[in-house]
């Protein structure tokens, strides 16, 4: 029998990018919050600038729950699923916000109303066949105050492009109206970033620095970025990357109302006879505990949020918690970042230092920022030229058809070119489809015997067409900046596990097609909420974390405001 713990107001499963944000407004409002985290606290001492550990081994090794729960993946329901080789999850207080690239975008207004806007401008038949995309239950304006709040509480640097309708050409002219500027100026540009920006301007495009959860000056007593590199899958040794373990979680702890339990491996959410959740079971080592709670918020990675619901079967919910309508796991998608483009330049880029969030963005070809009347797709991509180079990855560079990638001739090549190649990062609109979903693998289990998640998914024509279109734009941009070779990756449709995993517990007003309501609470279980990108119904062409965090703050605030209705 598990040890029965004392009841708490709210239990949050996962102290990462989303749960770590939600904990703060809840604790600040005086609710007693227990944050269960499978990993441990890590600090600056754990964040060595070490490419082998960060990028080639399963860091951190201390807790490897996510590694042992790697999903399986298959393209369609007719093909066999195989275990994915690597996973994007992170077991530590702060979760993936410890080692992510920290790009912290707001979605653009179009992303909230893709169906309505597409139908209005091009007619309803422009929506790709088989897509289950819906408008969000609210527009950008509803989320704006929460974006604003999180940008300040977490600490986001950037250049505004639209403050209360005033367009600033230094920022993104396509962004939604923001009530004020970022709390910190943007990360600086390197000489190569400047060259790319100049090239973009000469093409008539609008380059701007991207937003990042990286301090550019002293903020909340933490230092500004040292631009030392190793930010890609690495933690920050000077605490300039604003992961939740140094931002909102300590603030929540300081209220005296948040208790973080580390090494807590949650196995199941319990349901009472009235159909309400009563708390969660977890294990620490070989000890089992039951944490009763008035409200349960699940805040793991998308795969684990879905898995936790599907594993929590009960008499009331035989197909998994909050899944009477069979929507848990549906509308899953991940950002299509295939169709890569890289380029070789005849000069050193001086890119040995810097970070993936330091770069030049182009939004002219994203969302519906250009006319799609003559295009056979909707949406688009955000072009991103960053400054990120590490020695092993640099030495593993493409040789651009100039001989094989080893041996003495290669040594001469790499000596000259190790700092002359550049790989772009192009995020593209990706839609949910009928045939893409998550469920429990019928065969593969974790060491406790629980099935892992199975991803069934492939990118469809709309995504690969965007891919080819964006490759053309990126090649133009590289050529304008003086590239002598441009290499295009294939536009394959394999999906697999992703660092940008969306859906599975989608948010919407219709319980027939959505798991959670417009506030993030289950349509079927009133005291169960879901946090993170798993509630998002569209991806936009930009990183999900800030939107997930803004939604988390909003869900937490709603819970505080409606405590009696939800918890009692």
Which 21-50 residues touch other proteins, going by CB under 8 A? Answer: 34, 41, 43-50
373 binds other proteins (CB under 8 A): no
418 binds other proteins (CB under 8 A): yes
What does the block give as tokens for 328? Answer: 């848990």
Nearer to other proteins, 122 or 352 (CB): 352
Q: Cα(391)–Cα(398) distance, rounded to whole angstroms?
A: 14
Task: Give the dihedral sign, CA 9/92/106/219.
Answer: positive
Shortest distance in whole angstroms from residue 20 CB to other proteins: 14
226 binds other proteins (CB under 8 A): yes
419 binds other proteins (CB under 8 A): yes
290 binds other proteins (CB under 8 A): no
State which of residues 404, 512, 564, 568 lies at the interface with other proteins (CB under 8 A). 404
191 binds other proteins (CB under 8 A): yes
Shortest distance in whole angstroms from residue 124 CB to other proteins: 47
Collect all residues with Cβ–Cβ distance below 8 Å to 378 and sequence separation of at least 6.
Answer: 114, 118, 122, 126, 127, 128, 368, 372, 429, 462
- Supply the DSSP string of 171-216, one letter for each residue: S-TTSPPBSS--SBPPPPPPHHHHHHHHHHHHTT--EEEPPBSB-S
Which 497-536 residues touch other proteins, going by CB under 8 A? Answer: none
State which of residues 76, 396, 402, 435 lies at the interface with other proteins (CB under 8 A). 396
414 binds other proteins (CB under 8 A): yes
Part in contact with other proteins (CB under 8 A); list of ranges 140-148, 171-179, 285-293, 523-531:
285-293
Shortest distance in whole angstroms from residue 226 CB to other proteins: 4
348 binds other proteins (CB under 8 A): yes
Of 205, 478, 481, 238, nearest to 361 (Cα)? 205
What does the block give as tokens for 459? Answer: 């990118």
State which of residues 285, 318, 401, 449 lies at the interface with other proteins (CB under 8 A). 285
- In angstroms, the first-to-last Cα distance of the chain is 27
CA distances from 181 to 152, 158, 160, 248 (A): 10, 8, 6, 21
x/- site string to other proteins, residues 230 to 269, per CB under 8 A? -------xxxx---------x--x----xxxxxxx-----
Q: Cα(435)–Cα(369) distance, rounded to whole angstroms?
A: 28
Task: Give the dihedral sign, CA 143/557/251/5.
Answer: negative
C-beta of residue 424 within 8 angstroms of C-beta of residue 437: no
394 binds other proteins (CB under 8 A): yes
Shortest distance in whole angstroms from residue 328 CB to other proteins: 30
Part in contact with other proteins (CB under 8 A); list of ranges 12-20, 114-122, 202-210, 399-407:
399-407
Indicate the pairing of strand 528-530 with strand 287-298: parallel
DSSP state of 224: P
Part in contact with other proteins (CB under 8 A); list of ranges 67-75, 167-175, 345-353, 530-538:
345-353
58 binds other proteins (CB under 8 A): yes
198 binds other proteins (CB under 8 A): no
Total number of residues that touch other proteins (CB under 8 A): 71
């Amino acid at each position: 029998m598990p040890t029965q713990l004392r009841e708490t107001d709210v239990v949050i499963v996962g102290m990462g990018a989303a749960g770590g944000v939600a904990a703060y407004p809840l604790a600040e409002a005086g609710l007693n919050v227990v944050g269960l985290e499978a990993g441990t606290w890590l600090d600056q001492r754990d964040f060595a600038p070490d490419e082998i550990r960060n990028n080639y081994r399963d860091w951190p090794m201390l807790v490897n729950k996510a590694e042992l729960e790697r999903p399986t993946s298959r393209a369609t329901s007719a093909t066999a699923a195989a275990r994915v080789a690597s996973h994007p999850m992170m077991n530590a207080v702060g979760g993936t916000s410890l080692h992510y690239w920290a790009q912290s975008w707001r979605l653009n207004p179009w992303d909230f109303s893709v169906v309505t806007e597409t139908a209005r401008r091009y007619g309803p038949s422009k929506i790709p066949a088989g897509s289950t995309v819906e408008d969000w239950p609210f527009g950008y304006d509803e989320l704006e105050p929460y974006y604003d709040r999180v940008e300040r509480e977490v600490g986001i640097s950037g250049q505004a492009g639209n403050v209360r309708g005033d367009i600033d050409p230094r920022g993104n002219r396509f962004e939604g109206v923001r009530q004020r500027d970022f709390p910190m100026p943007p990360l600086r540009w390197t000489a190569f970033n400047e060259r790319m920006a100049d090239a973009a301007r000469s093409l008539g495009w609008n380059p701007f620095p991207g937003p990042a959860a990286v301090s550019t000056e002293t903020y909340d007593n933490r230092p500004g970025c040292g631009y030392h590199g190793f930010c890609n899958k690495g933690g920050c040794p000077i605490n300039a990357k604003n992961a939740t373990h140094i931002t909102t979680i300590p603030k929540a702890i300081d209220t005296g109302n948040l208790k973080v339990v580390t090494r807590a491996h949650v196995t199941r959410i319990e349901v009472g006879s009235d159909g309400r959740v009563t708390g969660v079971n977890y294990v620490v080592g070989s000890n089992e505990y039951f944490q009763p709670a008035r409200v349960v918020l699940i805040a793991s990675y998308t795969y684990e949020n879905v898995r936790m619901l599907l594993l929590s079967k009960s008499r009331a919910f035989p197909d998994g918690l909050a899944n009477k309508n069979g929507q848990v796991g549906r509308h899953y998608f991940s950002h299509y970042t295939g169709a890569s483009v890289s380029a070789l330049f005849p000069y050193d880029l001086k890119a040995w230092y810097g970070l993936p969030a330091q770069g030049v963005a182009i939004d002219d070809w994203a969302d519906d920022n250009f006319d799609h009347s003559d295009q056979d797709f909707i949406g688009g991509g955000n072009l991103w030229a960053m400054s990120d180079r590490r020695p092993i990855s640099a030495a593993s560079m493409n040789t651009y058809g100039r001989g094989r990638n080893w041996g003495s001739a290669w040594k001469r090549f790499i000596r000259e070119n190790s700092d002359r190649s550049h790989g772009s990062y192009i995020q593209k609109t990706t839609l949910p489809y009928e045939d893409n979903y998550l469920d429990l693998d019928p065969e593969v289990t974790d060491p406790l015997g629980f099935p892992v998640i199975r991803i069934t998914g492939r990118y469809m024509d709309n995504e690969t067409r965007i891919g080819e279109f964006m490759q053309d734009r990126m090649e133009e941009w590289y050529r304008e900046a003086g590239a002598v070779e441009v290499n295009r990756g294939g536009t394959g449709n394999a999906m697999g596990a992703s660092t940008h995993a969306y859906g599975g517990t989608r948010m919407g007003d219709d319980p027939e097609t959505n798991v959670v309501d417009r506030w993030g609470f289950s349509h079927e279980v009133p005291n169960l909420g879901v946090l993170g990108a798993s509630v998002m119904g569209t991806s936009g062409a930009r990183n999900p974390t800030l939107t997930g965090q803004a939604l988390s703050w909003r869900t937490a605030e709603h819970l505080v405001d409606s405590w009696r209705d939800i918890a009692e």
